[in-house]
């Protein structure tokens, strides 16, 4: 399945769409790019031991790309909202000069794009991930927005990974209160896992 400019402007989500298919559709279509997948196109694969180091790198102004050879991503806090940059998405540069906090999802690794074409593809993929999240915010009921974003992350990653993501990070992605996100989590597959987690992440 291939995304193109025309498909980018078409709705990706609807209440009857499988959460797994939505994230996977974005990933398989937008990220199946030989240029970004080939090790020869990467100057260096960068991994991080802590999120403070990662935030410093993002704020440096250097344009980087989330490695699309693994299921990973970044939730980037802005002043009043958060954005998810999934596999293949550009991060840093002019996109994130106002980043205030970073939450790593999965085993995050970044690469340096080596050509203008790679940078353009990374920009497009970043916009694609943003649009995917924006469509969730079009649901007027906060509980529904929280449920949909949670299901998307659950199916794309797994419960063990998603339970580590702070309520605030997920809530800022779709414009709900952290308490709303936690309420939805308690009714989902996270109940048992959350029982062993502290009240605050």
Q: In the predicted model, is pLDDT for residue 127 greater than 80?
A: yes
- Determine the pLDDT at residue 170: 96
In a domain, 3, yes or no: no
Q: pLDDT band for 60, please (50, 70, 90 cuts).
A: confident
Residue at 189 is within a domain: yes
Q: Is residue 93 part of a domain?
A: yes
More confident residue, 7 or 29: 29
Q: Give the model's pLDDT for residue 58.
A: 87
**Domain contains 67:** yes
The count of structural domains within the chain is: 1
- On whether residue 10 sits in a domain, the answer given is no
Element (H, E) at 84: strand 82-85
Tokens of 31: 């990220």
Kindly state whether residue 7 falls inside one of the protein's structural domains: no
Question: Which pLDDT belongs to residue 48?
Answer: 57
Domain of residue 105 covers 17-194
Distance CA 112, CA 159 (A): 30
Residue 29 binned pLDDT confidence (cut-offs 50, 70, 90): very low
- Average pLDDT value for residue range 137-144: 94
Does 147 reside within a domain?
A: yes
Taking the C-alpha atoms of residue 78 and residue 62, their distance in angstroms, rounded to an integer, is 18
Could you tell me if residue 2 is inside a domain?
Answer: no
More confident residue, 75 or 158: 75
Q: Minimal CA–CA distance to 75: which of 60, 61, 58, 94?
A: 58
Instruction: State the average pLDDT over residues 186-199.
Output: 52
pTM for the predicted model, two decimal places: 0.73
What is the average pLDDT score of the chain? 77
Phi then psi for residue 31, to 5 deg, are -105, -5
């Amino acid at each position: 399945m291939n995304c193109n400019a025309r498909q980018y402007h078409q709705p990706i989500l609807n209440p009857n769409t499988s959460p797994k298919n939505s994230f996977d559709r974005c990933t398989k279509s937008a990220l199946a790019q030989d240029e970004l997948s080939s090790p020869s196109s990467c100057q260096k694969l960068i991994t991080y031991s802590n999120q403070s180091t990662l935030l410093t790198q993002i704020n440096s102004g250097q344009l980087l790309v989330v490695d699309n050879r693994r299921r990973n991503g970044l939730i980037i806090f802005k002043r009043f909202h958060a954005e998810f940059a999934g596999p293949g998405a550009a991060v840093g540069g002019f996109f994130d000069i106002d980043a205030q906090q970073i939450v790593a999802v999965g085993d995050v690794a970044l690469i340096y794009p080596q050509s203008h074409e790679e940078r353009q593809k990374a920009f497009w993929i970043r916009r694609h991930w943003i649009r995917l999240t924006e469509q969730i915010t079009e649901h007027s009921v906060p509980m529904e927005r929280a449920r949909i974003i949670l299901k998307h992350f659950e199916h794309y990653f797994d419960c063990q990974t998603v339970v580590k993501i702070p309520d605030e990070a997920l809530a800022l992605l779709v414009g709900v209160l952290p308490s709303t996100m936690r309420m939805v989590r308690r009714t989902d597959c996270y109940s048992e896992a959350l029982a062993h987690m502290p009240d605050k992440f």
